[in-house]
């Protein structure tokens, strides 16, 4: 009878666990480096992953960043993003996976592909292509309690196979990410110091710090025309205006560089705001 009770408890936990979908998880943890990468954020793939997840409703946390209190007390509130590199000789192939706290795949995207010869261009195109399969994924955190860690750990070893990958929401807008800046943190602080101005096409601009990053203003205007949103674990910022999204960073010279992916042209358009002497 005792053995039967234990078996029933295991099966009950396994069934509950197997019914979990992405909607049952409040956060997605993004690693600084994927297994196939040689260095952190190589080709800006990790920053691109974080941006795309956040843009369409997921709350993300870089793996090395400070975790919210509730996530510290229960790591199973989060999925972990992973990118599988299935590339061949002539075709770059990538798959986005979202795994639970035990390494079970809760969601896997369709395989994204690219025939670009340049590594960075190929990885970005393949990852963006993989994200297109999230278009029908109507992600909304359900706020249903995740099964507590202790019983799940006991049952996971015996019930791991029953984990299902059900899908629910998020869409993707193609966006290119810039090469990683070599500027250190102190340089970034100098570049956005109060009273710092930037020029482009005979116009003057400045940044004003806020809770999420910086408002980007044209001199003489009361409202910012764009926002620079901090990206955890990176020197890059998410650039967001009413009509354009991209990435921004400070060059070693202190200039502010904004890169936007132009869908129609099929390439990245770079705009440099020169640091005013």
Task: Note whether 237 and 105 are same-domain residues.
Answer: no
Q: Give the per-residue pLDDT at 233.
A: 56
Determine which helix (DSSP H) or strand (DSSP E) holds 226, and give its type and residue range. strand 226-230
Task: Note whether 87 and 148 are same-domain residues.
Answer: yes
Question: Tens digit of pLDDT for each residue in 199-221?
Answer: 998 899 999 888 778 889 998 88
Number of structural domains found in the chain = 2
Chain centre to alpha carbon of residue 190: 27
Q: Which domain holds residue 42?
A: 2-162
Q: Is residue 180 part of a domain?
A: no
Q: Which of 80-84, 93-97, 252-256 has the lowest mean pLDDT?
A: 252-256
User: pTM to 2 decimals?
Assistant: 0.53
Output the average pLDDT for the chain.
75
pLDDT for 161 beyond 70:
no
Q: Is residue 179 part of a domain?
A: no
Which band of pLDDT confidence, cut at 50, 70 and 90, is reported for residue 234? low
Q: Tell me which of 113, 147, 162 is where a domain ends.
A: 162
Task: Note whether 128 and 93 are same-domain residues.
Answer: yes
Q: Give the per-residue pLDDT at 160.
A: 35
Task: Note whether 248 and 122 are same-domain residues.
Answer: no
Q: Give the per-residue pLDDT at 153.
A: 40
Q: Stretch 21-35: mean pLDDT, rounded?
A: 91
pLDDT for 83 beyond 90:
yes
Q: How many CB atoms sit inside 10 A of residue 143's CB?
A: 8
Domain containing residue 44: CATH number: 3.40.50
Task: Note whether 229 and 99 are same-domain residues.
Answer: no
Task: Note whether 129 and 226 are same-domain residues.
Answer: no
Q: Give the per-residue pLDDT at 144.
A: 56
Task: Note whether 211 and 108 are same-domain residues.
Answer: no
Task: Note whether 32 and 93 are same-domain residues.
Answer: yes
Q: Is residue 197 part of a domain?
A: yes
Q: Stretch 21-28: mean pLDDT, rounded?
A: 90
Task: Note whether 264 and 154 are same-domain residues.
Answer: no
Residues 235-240: contacts with CB within 8 Å, 24+ apart? 235/180, 235/181, 235/183, 235/185, 235/188, 236/44, 236/47, 236/177, 236/178, 236/180, 236/181, 237/213, 238/51, 238/54, 238/213
Task: Note whether 139 and 193 are same-domain residues.
Answer: no
Percentage above 70 pLDDT, the chain: 73
Which band of pLDDT confidence, cut at 50, 70 and 90, is reported for residue 198? very high
pLDDT for 104 beyond 90:
yes
């Amino acid at each position: 009878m005792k053995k039967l009770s234990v078996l029933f408890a295991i099966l009950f936990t396994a069934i509950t666990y197997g019914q979990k979908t992405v909607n049952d998880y409040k956060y997605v943890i993004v690693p600084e480096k994927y297994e196939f990468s040689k260095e952190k954020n190589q080709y800006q793939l990790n920053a691109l992953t974080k941006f795309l997840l956040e843009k369409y409703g997921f709350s993300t946390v870089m793996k090395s960043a400070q975790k919210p209190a509730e996530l510290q007390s229960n790591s199973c509130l989060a999925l972990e993003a992973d990118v599988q590199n299935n590339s061949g000789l002539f075709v770059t192939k990538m798959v986005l996976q979202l795994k639970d706290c035990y390494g079970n795949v809760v969601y896997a995207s369709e395989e994204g592909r690219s025939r670009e010869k340049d590594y960075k261009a190929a990885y970005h195109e393949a990852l963006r292509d993989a994200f297109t399969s999230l278009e029908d994924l109507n992600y909304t955190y359900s706020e249903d309690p995740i099964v507590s860690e202790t019983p799940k750990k006991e049952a996971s070893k015996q019930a791991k196979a029953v984990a299902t990958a059900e899908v629910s929401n998020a869409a993707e807008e193609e966006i290119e990410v810039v090469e990683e800046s070599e500027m250190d943190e102190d340089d970034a602080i100098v570049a956005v110091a109060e009273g710092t101005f930037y020029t482009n096409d005979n116009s003057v601009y400045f940044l004003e710090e806020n809770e999420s990053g910086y408002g980007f203003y044209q001199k003489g205007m009361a409202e910012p025309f764009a926002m620079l949103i901090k990206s955890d674990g990176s020197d890059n910022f998410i650039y967001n205006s009413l009509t354009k999204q991209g990435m921004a960073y400070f060059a070693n010279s202190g200039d502010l560089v904004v890169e936007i992916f132009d869908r129609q042209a099929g390439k990245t358009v770079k705009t440099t705001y020169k640091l005013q002497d």
